[in-house]
Structure 1
Protein backbone atom coordinates (compact mmCIF):
# COMPACT_ATOMS: atom_id res chain seq x y z
CA UNK A 1 0.00 0.00 0.00
CA UNK A 2 1.26 3.45 -0.88
CA UNK A 3 0.45 5.91 1.90
CA UNK A 4 -0.71 9.40 0.96
CA UNK A 5 0.81 12.10 3.19
CA UNK A 6 -0.43 15.70 3.01
CA UNK A 7 2.09 18.31 4.19
CA UNK A 8 0.23 21.36 5.46
CA UNK A 9 1.43 24.58 6.99
CA UNK A 10 4.33 26.97 7.05
CA UNK A 11 5.90 27.69 3.65
CA UNK A 12 9.03 29.66 4.56
CA UNK A 13 11.47 26.89 5.52
CA UNK A 14 12.73 23.58 4.13
CA UNK A 15 10.76 21.26 6.42
CA UNK A 16 8.84 19.64 3.54
CA UNK A 17 12.03 18.88 1.62
CA UNK A 18 13.60 17.36 4.74
CA UNK A 19 10.62 15.05 5.28
CA UNK A 20 10.49 14.00 1.63
CA UNK A 21 14.26 13.34 1.54
CA UNK A 22 14.10 11.40 4.81
CA UNK A 23 11.20 9.26 3.59
CA UNK A 24 13.04 8.55 0.34
CA UNK A 25 16.22 7.62 2.24
CA UNK A 26 14.19 5.27 4.44
CA UNK A 27 12.59 3.67 1.36
CA UNK A 28 9.07 4.40 2.58
CA UNK A 29 6.16 3.62 0.27
CA UNK A 30 4.62 7.08 0.50
CA UNK A 31 3.51 9.86 -1.81
CA UNK A 32 3.41 13.46 -0.70
CA UNK A 33 1.08 16.31 -1.56
CA UNK A 34 0.84 19.88 -0.35
CA UNK A 35 -0.87 23.18 -0.95
CA UNK A 36 0.63 25.55 -3.50
CA UNK A 37 3.65 26.86 -1.60
CA UNK A 38 4.48 29.83 -3.84
CA UNK A 39 2.99 32.54 -1.64
CA UNK A 40 2.13 35.10 -4.34
CA UNK A 41 0.69 32.46 -6.70
CA UNK A 42 -1.49 31.13 -3.90
CA UNK A 43 -2.72 34.62 -3.00
CA UNK A 44 -3.34 35.72 -6.59
CA UNK A 45 -4.62 32.52 -8.26
CA UNK A 46 -8.31 33.43 -8.17
CA UNK A 47 -7.91 36.88 -9.70
CA UNK A 48 -5.28 35.66 -12.18
CA UNK A 49 -7.56 32.89 -13.47
CA UNK A 50 -11.09 34.23 -12.92
CA UNK A 51 -10.54 37.97 -13.29
CA UNK A 52 -9.24 40.90 -11.30
CA UNK A 53 -11.15 42.33 -8.36
CA UNK A 54 -11.05 45.99 -7.35
CA UNK A 55 -11.70 45.11 -3.71
CA UNK A 56 -8.92 43.17 -1.91
CA UNK A 57 -11.52 41.23 0.08
CA UNK A 58 -12.96 39.70 -3.10
CA UNK A 59 -9.47 39.19 -4.55
CA UNK A 60 -8.52 37.18 -1.46
CA UNK A 61 -11.83 35.31 -1.40
CA UNK A 62 -11.46 34.15 -5.02
CA UNK A 63 -7.98 32.85 -4.21
CA UNK A 64 -9.09 31.16 -1.00
CA UNK A 65 -11.96 29.41 -2.74
CA UNK A 66 -9.79 28.17 -5.60
CA UNK A 67 -7.12 26.99 -3.17
CA UNK A 68 -9.83 25.22 -1.15
CA UNK A 69 -10.58 22.93 -4.10
CA UNK A 70 -7.00 21.63 -3.97
CA UNK A 71 -6.71 21.60 -0.20
CA UNK A 72 -10.01 19.86 0.55
CA UNK A 73 -9.46 17.25 -2.15
CA UNK A 74 -5.94 16.39 -1.00
CA UNK A 75 -6.89 16.39 2.70
CA UNK A 76 -9.78 14.03 1.97
CA UNK A 77 -7.45 11.67 0.06
CA UNK A 78 -4.69 11.70 2.69
CA UNK A 79 -3.92 8.77 4.95
CA UNK A 80 -1.93 11.06 7.27
CA UNK A 81 -1.80 14.85 7.54
CA UNK A 82 1.37 16.53 8.79
CA UNK A 83 0.75 20.11 9.95
CA UNK A 84 3.73 22.43 10.50
CA UNK A 85 3.47 25.58 12.58
CA UNK A 86 6.56 27.77 12.22
CA UNK A 87 8.03 30.63 14.18
CA UNK A 88 7.64 33.59 11.87
CA UNK A 89 4.01 33.80 10.76
CA UNK A 90 0.62 32.86 12.12
CA UNK A 91 -0.53 29.90 10.09
CA UNK A 92 -4.30 30.17 10.24
CA UNK A 93 -4.56 27.94 7.19
CA UNK A 94 -2.57 25.23 8.96
CA UNK A 95 -4.90 25.38 11.96
CA UNK A 96 -7.90 25.12 9.64
CA UNK A 97 -6.33 22.13 7.86
CA UNK A 98 -5.69 20.42 11.20
CA UNK A 99 -9.32 20.95 12.20
CA UNK A 100 -10.57 19.71 8.84
CA UNK A 101 -8.39 16.59 9.06
CA UNK A 102 -9.59 15.98 12.63
CA UNK A 103 -13.22 16.28 11.49
CA UNK A 104 -12.51 13.75 8.73
CA UNK A 105 -10.93 11.38 11.26
CA UNK A 106 -7.59 11.49 9.43
CA UNK A 107 -4.54 10.93 11.65
CA UNK A 108 -2.56 14.12 12.26
CA UNK A 109 1.10 14.62 13.08
CA UNK A 110 1.75 18.16 14.29
CA UNK A 111 5.19 19.73 13.89
CA UNK A 112 6.16 22.83 15.86
CA UNK A 113 8.79 24.17 18.25
CA UNK A 114 8.23 23.50 21.96
CA UNK A 115 7.48 27.15 22.75
CA UNK A 116 4.25 26.89 20.70
CA UNK A 117 2.91 24.09 22.89
CA UNK A 118 0.55 26.27 24.92
CA UNK A 119 -0.87 28.17 21.94
CA UNK A 120 -1.44 24.92 20.04
CA UNK A 121 -2.64 22.76 22.93
CA UNK A 122 -6.01 22.03 21.30
CA UNK A 123 -4.40 21.18 17.96
CA UNK A 124 -1.83 19.01 19.77
CA UNK A 125 -4.63 17.25 21.66
CA UNK A 126 -6.30 16.32 18.35
CA UNK A 127 -3.03 15.03 16.90
CA UNK A 128 -1.80 11.46 17.30
CA UNK A 129 1.83 12.65 17.42
CA UNK A 130 3.49 15.99 18.14
CA UNK A 131 6.99 16.37 16.72
CA UNK A 132 9.59 19.11 17.06
CA UNK A 133 11.71 18.27 13.99
CA UNK A 134 11.11 17.00 10.46
CA UNK A 135 13.37 14.06 11.33
CA UNK A 136 10.97 13.04 14.10
CA UNK A 137 8.14 13.16 11.56
CA UNK A 138 10.15 10.84 9.27
CA UNK A 139 10.72 8.47 12.20
CA UNK A 140 6.96 8.50 12.92
CA UNK A 141 6.22 7.74 9.27
CA UNK A 142 8.85 4.96 9.18
CA UNK A 143 7.25 3.31 12.19
CA UNK A 144 3.67 3.68 10.99
CA UNK A 145 4.26 2.83 7.33
CA UNK A 146 7.05 0.24 7.54
CA UNK A 147 7.06 -0.85 11.19
CA UNK A 148 10.68 0.22 11.64
CA UNK A 149 11.95 1.80 14.81
CA UNK A 150 15.44 3.34 14.84
CA UNK A 151 17.79 1.33 17.03
CA UNK A 152 15.25 -1.46 17.51
CA UNK A 153 16.55 -4.43 15.56
CA UNK A 154 14.91 -7.70 14.64
CA UNK A 155 17.18 -9.31 17.20
CA UNK A 156 15.79 -7.10 19.96
CA UNK A 157 12.27 -7.97 18.84
CA UNK A 158 13.07 -11.69 18.92
CA UNK A 159 14.38 -11.38 22.50
CA UNK A 160 11.06 -10.05 23.77
Structure 2
Protein backbone atom coordinates (compact mmCIF):
# COMPACT_ATOMS: atom_id res chain seq x y z
CA UNK A 1 0.00 0.00 0.00
CA UNK A 2 1.54 3.26 -1.13
CA UNK A 3 0.73 6.48 0.69
CA UNK A 4 0.81 9.99 -0.75
CA UNK A 5 2.28 12.41 1.77
CA UNK A 6 1.75 16.17 1.43
CA UNK A 7 4.78 17.99 2.84
CA UNK A 8 3.66 21.41 4.09
CA UNK A 9 6.16 23.85 5.50
CA UNK A 10 8.81 26.37 4.68
CA UNK A 11 10.60 25.99 1.36
CA UNK A 12 13.96 27.50 2.30
CA UNK A 13 15.68 24.51 3.90
CA UNK A 14 16.27 20.94 2.75
CA UNK A 15 13.98 19.20 5.24
CA UNK A 16 11.88 17.67 2.43
CA UNK A 17 14.91 16.15 0.73
CA UNK A 18 16.10 14.77 4.07
CA UNK A 19 12.74 13.14 4.77
CA UNK A 20 12.46 11.72 1.24
CA UNK A 21 16.00 10.32 1.37
CA UNK A 22 15.37 8.64 4.71
CA UNK A 23 12.07 7.20 3.46
CA UNK A 24 13.87 5.67 0.47
CA UNK A 25 16.61 4.28 2.75
CA UNK A 26 13.91 2.59 4.85
CA UNK A 27 12.15 1.36 1.71
CA UNK A 28 8.86 2.92 2.77
CA UNK A 29 6.25 2.96 -0.03
CA UNK A 30 5.63 6.71 0.05
CA UNK A 31 5.10 9.32 -2.65
CA UNK A 32 5.49 12.99 -1.83
CA UNK A 33 3.73 16.15 -2.98
CA UNK A 34 3.77 19.65 -1.59
CA UNK A 35 3.75 23.35 -2.27
CA UNK A 36 5.64 24.92 -5.14
CA UNK A 37 9.25 25.05 -3.93
CA UNK A 38 10.44 27.46 -6.61
CA UNK A 39 9.77 30.74 -4.77
CA UNK A 40 10.04 32.95 -7.88
CA UNK A 41 7.66 30.72 -9.85
CA UNK A 42 5.22 30.70 -6.94
CA UNK A 43 5.29 34.51 -6.79
CA UNK A 44 5.04 34.99 -10.57
CA UNK A 45 2.61 32.22 -11.61
CA UNK A 46 -0.41 34.53 -11.73
CA UNK A 47 1.30 36.88 -14.15
CA UNK A 48 2.79 33.96 -16.09
CA UNK A 49 -0.74 32.75 -16.80
CA UNK A 50 -2.83 35.97 -16.77
CA UNK A 51 -0.27 38.51 -17.95
CA UNK A 52 1.17 41.56 -16.23
CA UNK A 53 -1.00 42.80 -13.38
CA UNK A 54 -1.51 46.51 -12.60
CA UNK A 55 0.04 46.40 -9.11
CA UNK A 56 1.65 44.09 -6.55
CA UNK A 57 -1.57 43.50 -4.61
CA UNK A 58 -3.35 42.16 -7.68
CA UNK A 59 -0.19 40.27 -8.73
CA UNK A 60 -0.10 38.54 -5.32
CA UNK A 61 -3.83 37.81 -5.49
CA UNK A 62 -3.48 36.20 -8.93
CA UNK A 63 -0.53 34.07 -7.76
CA UNK A 64 -2.38 33.08 -4.60
CA UNK A 65 -5.36 31.88 -6.60
CA UNK A 66 -3.22 29.54 -8.69
CA UNK A 67 -1.14 28.36 -5.71
CA UNK A 68 -4.26 27.72 -3.61
CA UNK A 69 -5.80 25.67 -6.40
CA UNK A 70 -2.59 23.62 -6.70
CA UNK A 71 -2.45 23.05 -2.94
CA UNK A 72 -6.12 22.06 -2.79
CA UNK A 73 -5.76 19.48 -5.57
CA UNK A 74 -2.59 17.93 -4.16
CA UNK A 75 -3.78 17.93 -0.56
CA UNK A 76 -7.10 16.32 -1.47
CA UNK A 77 -5.18 13.53 -3.22
CA UNK A 78 -2.86 12.98 -0.25
CA UNK A 79 -3.34 10.33 2.42
CA UNK A 80 -1.49 12.15 5.18
CA UNK A 81 -0.04 15.63 5.72
CA UNK A 82 3.20 16.53 7.46
CA UNK A 83 3.43 20.19 8.46
CA UNK A 84 6.85 21.39 9.57
CA UNK A 85 7.20 24.56 11.61
CA UNK A 86 10.76 25.79 11.92
CA UNK A 87 12.20 28.58 14.02
CA UNK A 88 13.71 30.79 11.32
CA UNK A 89 10.99 31.63 8.78
CA UNK A 90 7.48 33.02 8.98
CA UNK A 91 5.06 30.11 9.00
CA UNK A 92 1.78 31.52 7.67
CA UNK A 93 1.52 29.12 4.73
CA UNK A 94 2.35 26.16 6.96
CA UNK A 95 -0.41 27.15 9.37
CA UNK A 96 -2.85 27.55 6.49
CA UNK A 97 -1.93 24.13 5.06
CA UNK A 98 -2.18 22.43 8.47
CA UNK A 99 -5.60 24.01 9.00
CA UNK A 100 -6.70 22.89 5.53
CA UNK A 101 -5.60 19.33 6.35
CA UNK A 102 -7.69 19.40 9.52
CA UNK A 103 -10.68 20.78 7.60
CA UNK A 104 -10.31 18.03 4.99
CA UNK A 105 -10.04 15.43 7.77
CA UNK A 106 -6.57 14.43 6.55
CA UNK A 107 -4.33 12.76 9.12
CA UNK A 108 -1.86 15.43 10.24
CA UNK A 109 1.63 15.05 11.67
CA UNK A 110 2.87 18.35 13.05
CA UNK A 111 6.62 18.91 13.44
CA UNK A 112 7.57 21.79 15.69
CA UNK A 113 10.52 22.62 17.92
CA UNK A 114 10.13 22.98 21.66
CA UNK A 115 10.34 26.78 21.32
CA UNK A 116 7.03 26.80 19.41
CA UNK A 117 4.98 24.70 21.84
CA UNK A 118 3.04 27.69 23.16
CA UNK A 119 2.27 29.51 19.88
CA UNK A 120 1.17 26.26 18.21
CA UNK A 121 -0.71 24.72 21.12
CA UNK A 122 -4.19 24.87 19.53
CA UNK A 123 -2.98 23.58 16.17
CA UNK A 124 -0.95 20.88 17.88
CA UNK A 125 -4.02 19.82 19.82
CA UNK A 126 -5.93 19.32 16.54
CA UNK A 127 -3.13 17.37 14.80
CA UNK A 128 -3.16 13.59 15.06
CA UNK A 129 0.33 13.71 16.54
CA UNK A 130 2.94 16.37 17.22
CA UNK A 131 6.64 15.56 17.03
CA UNK A 132 9.84 17.57 17.20
CA UNK A 133 11.90 16.13 14.34
CA UNK A 134 11.68 14.88 10.78
CA UNK A 135 12.97 11.51 12.03
CA UNK A 136 10.09 11.21 14.48
CA UNK A 137 7.57 12.05 11.74
CA UNK A 138 9.11 9.34 9.57
CA UNK A 139 8.85 6.87 12.48
CA UNK A 140 5.13 7.61 12.68
CA UNK A 141 4.74 6.86 8.96
CA UNK A 142 6.86 3.70 9.26
CA UNK A 143 4.62 2.48 12.09
CA UNK A 144 1.67 2.43 9.68
CA UNK A 145 3.40 -0.46 7.88
CA UNK A 146 4.26 -2.52 10.96
TM-score range, shorter chain: over 0.9
> 1:154: which partner in 2?
none
> 1:23: which partner in 2?
23
Aligned equivalents of 2:82, 2:46: Cα separation in 1: 26
Structure 2 unaligned blocks of 5 or more: none
Number of residue equivalences: 146
Aligned equivalents of 2:76, 2:69: Cα separation in 1: 11
Offset from partner CA, 1:51-88 (integer Å, 9 cap, x none): 11121110000000001111001111111000011112
* Secondary structure, counterpart of 1:81 in structure 2: strand
4+ residue runs of structure 1 moved beyond 2 angstroms?
none
Aligned equivalents of 1:116, 1:110: Cα separation in 2: 11
Structure 1 unaligned blocks of 5 or more: 148-160
Residues 138-149 of structure 1 aligned to structure 2 (within 5 Å): 138-144=138-144, 146-147=145-146
1:102 equivalent to 2:126? Answer: no
Q: Normalization by structure 1: what TM-score?
A: 0.88
What's the RMSD between the two structures over aligned residues?
0.9
Q: Normalization by structure 2: what TM-score?
A: 0.96
Aligned equivalents of 2:8, 2:60: Cα separation in 1: 19
